[in-house]
Amino acid sequence: MLNNKREVTSQKTVYKTKLFEIKEQRVVLPSNKKHVYQIVERLPTVNIFPVTGNYELYLISQYRYLFNKRILEAVAGHIEKNETSLAAAKRELKEEIGMSAYQWEEIARIQKSGSVIKETSHIFLARELEEGEADPSEGEDIFTVKLSLKEAVEKVTSGEINDAATMIGIFILDKLRREKKL
């Protein structure tokens, strides 16, 4: 068995914002060589998949400044300090598309990156939905898209949906549907 233990000799924060922190870690590798890692630690996130009894789901089309285009994706957001993942999921669903759900299940917990960016995302299934008024955050340009689970899978396989957490969530939902667990 390989020894993968790395001894951290020092760590400092290089840059910090509300949503992420950049750290520099100096370590001693198992080979006794020294190495420096730069790590971006994002706040944990939630991705929510509201699903109807007819296997229709609600996604959002959101303008993403970073890509300079609209992205079709799951309702998502950051978990605030001292907030549970479920509370964040409920808040984001209400804020972004104005919905509440009476049945919640965390269907996955994923690591979005393993090299430079460290982020955990909690993927939730939301059912027994109730519509209401959306209240998106300032700067969010969002509209709701309702489609069948079959259409969502087709959009993933065609490349139209290419957000990783959204793709994973859709594939898990499709597997649950096929196994009659949804």
Who wins on pLDDT, 2 or 57? 57
| Residue 1 pLDDT > 60 | no
Cα–Cα distance, 123 to 109 (Å, whole number): 6
CATH assignment of 43-178, given 3.40.190.10, 3.40.80.10, 3.90.79.10, 3.30.479.30?
A: 3.90.79.10
Sketch the domain layout of the chain as residue ranges.
7-41, 43-178
Cα–Cα distance, 62 to 167 (Å, whole number): 16
| pTM metric for this prediction | 0.92
Token pair 């924060």 is found at 13
Cα–Cα distance, 46 to 108 (Å, whole number): 10
Where on the phi/psi map is residue 152: left (φ > 0), alpha (ψ -120 to 50), or beta?
Answer: alpha
* 173: enclosing H helix or E strand: helix 164-178
Task: Output the pLDDT for position 2.
Answer: 60
Per-position DSSP letters for the chain, written without gaps between them: ------EEEEEEEEEE-SSEEEEEEEEE-TTS-EEEEEEEEEPPEEEEEEB-TTSEEEEEEEEETTTTEEEEE-EEEEPPTT--HHHHHHHHHHHHH-EEEEEEEEEEEEES-SSSEE-EEEEEEEEEEEE----PPTT--EEEEEEEHHHHHHHHHHTS---HHHHHHHHHHHHHHHTT--
Sorted by sequence, the CB contacts under 8 Å of residue 155 that are 6+ apart come out as 72, 147, 161
Each residue's pLDDT tens digit, 96-149: 999 999 999 999 999 988 789 999 999 999 999 999 999 888 888 999 999 999
pLDDT band (50, 70, 90) for residue 175: very high
